[in-house]
Protein backbone atom coordinates (compact mmCIF):
# COMPACT_ATOMS: atom_id res chain seq x y z
CA UNK A 1 0.00 0.00 0.00
CA UNK A 2 2.82 2.42 0.88
CA UNK A 3 4.64 1.81 -2.41
CA UNK A 4 1.44 2.36 -4.37
CA UNK A 5 0.81 5.61 -2.55
CA UNK A 6 4.39 6.78 -3.13
CA UNK A 7 4.06 5.97 -6.82
CA UNK A 8 0.79 7.90 -7.12
CA UNK A 9 2.27 10.89 -5.26
CA UNK A 10 5.35 10.89 -7.52
CA UNK A 11 3.12 10.80 -10.59
CA UNK A 12 1.01 13.64 -9.16
CA UNK A 13 4.13 15.75 -8.56
CA UNK A 14 5.36 15.10 -12.10
CA UNK A 15 1.98 16.11 -13.52
CA UNK A 16 1.92 19.28 -11.41
CA UNK A 17 5.37 20.23 -12.69
CA UNK A 18 4.30 19.56 -16.29
CA UNK A 19 1.15 21.65 -15.76
CA UNK A 20 3.20 24.53 -14.34
CA UNK A 21 5.66 24.38 -17.24
CA UNK A 22 2.85 24.32 -19.81
CA UNK A 23 1.07 27.25 -18.15
CA UNK A 24 4.30 29.25 -18.20
CA UNK A 25 4.81 28.42 -21.88
CA UNK A 26 1.26 29.48 -22.75
CA UNK A 27 1.75 32.76 -20.85
CA UNK A 28 5.02 33.38 -22.67
CA UNK A 29 3.42 32.70 -26.06
CA UNK A 30 0.49 34.99 -25.29
CA UNK A 31 2.66 37.74 -23.94
CA UNK A 32 2.24 39.35 -20.57
CA UNK A 33 1.90 43.01 -21.46
CA UNK A 34 -0.78 44.41 -23.70
CA UNK A 35 -0.43 48.14 -23.01
CA UNK A 36 2.79 49.49 -24.42
CA UNK A 37 2.33 53.21 -23.96
CA UNK A 38 0.11 55.63 -22.12
CA UNK A 39 -0.30 59.05 -23.72
CA UNK A 40 -0.57 61.94 -21.30
CA UNK A 41 -3.06 64.74 -22.03
CA UNK A 42 -1.68 68.16 -23.03
CA UNK A 43 -0.17 70.21 -20.20
CA UNK A 44 -2.04 73.06 -18.57
CA UNK A 45 -0.75 76.59 -18.27
CA UNK A 46 1.84 76.99 -15.53
CA UNK A 47 3.01 73.37 -15.43
CA UNK A 48 6.71 72.70 -15.66
CA UNK A 49 7.54 71.87 -19.29
CA UNK A 50 10.74 70.11 -18.17
CA UNK A 51 8.64 67.25 -16.81
CA UNK A 52 7.99 66.19 -20.38
CA UNK A 53 9.75 62.99 -21.37
CA UNK A 54 10.84 62.54 -24.95
CA UNK A 55 12.16 59.22 -26.12
CA UNK A 56 13.72 58.21 -29.42
CA UNK A 57 12.85 54.52 -29.54
CA UNK A 58 15.18 53.87 -32.46
CA UNK A 59 18.24 54.47 -30.25
CA UNK A 60 17.19 53.37 -26.78
CA UNK A 61 17.41 49.57 -27.04
CA UNK A 62 15.09 47.38 -25.01
CA UNK A 63 15.14 49.08 -21.58
CA UNK A 64 13.94 52.53 -20.61
CA UNK A 65 14.37 54.10 -17.16
CA UNK A 66 11.88 56.84 -16.32
CA UNK A 67 12.35 58.92 -13.15
CA UNK A 68 9.29 60.23 -11.35
CA UNK A 69 8.79 63.25 -9.10
CA UNK A 70 9.83 61.33 -5.95
CA UNK A 71 13.32 60.72 -7.35
CA UNK A 72 12.60 57.04 -7.84
CA UNK A 73 13.10 55.33 -11.15
CA UNK A 74 10.82 52.96 -13.03
CA UNK A 75 12.37 50.55 -15.53
CA UNK A 76 10.42 49.32 -18.53
CA UNK A 77 11.52 46.44 -20.74
CA UNK A 78 10.10 45.80 -24.18
CA UNK A 79 10.65 43.32 -26.99
CA UNK A 80 10.14 45.61 -29.96
CA UNK A 81 8.61 48.90 -31.01
Determine the Cα–Cα distance for residues 76 and 53; give it in Å rounded to an integer. Answer: 14
Q: pLDDT at position 55, please?
A: 61
Determine the Cα–Cα distance for residues 66 and 72; give it in Å rounded to an integer. Answer: 9
Q: Determine the structural domain holding residue 48 and report its residue range.
A: 2-77
Residue 81 has pLDDT above 60, yes or no: no
Who wins on pLDDT, 3 or 69? 3
Render 11-66 in DSSP notation, one character per residue.
HHHHHHHHHHHHHHHHHHHH-S------PPPPPPTTS-GGG-----TTTSTTEEEE
pLDDT in tens, 22-66: 998 888 888 765 555 665 666 677 666 556 566 666 665 666 666
pLDDT in tens, 1-17: 799 999 999 999 999 99
Task: Count how many domains the chain has.
Answer: 1
Amino acid sequence: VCEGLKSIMAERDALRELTRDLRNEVQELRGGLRVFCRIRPPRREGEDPLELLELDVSTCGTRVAVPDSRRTEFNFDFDHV
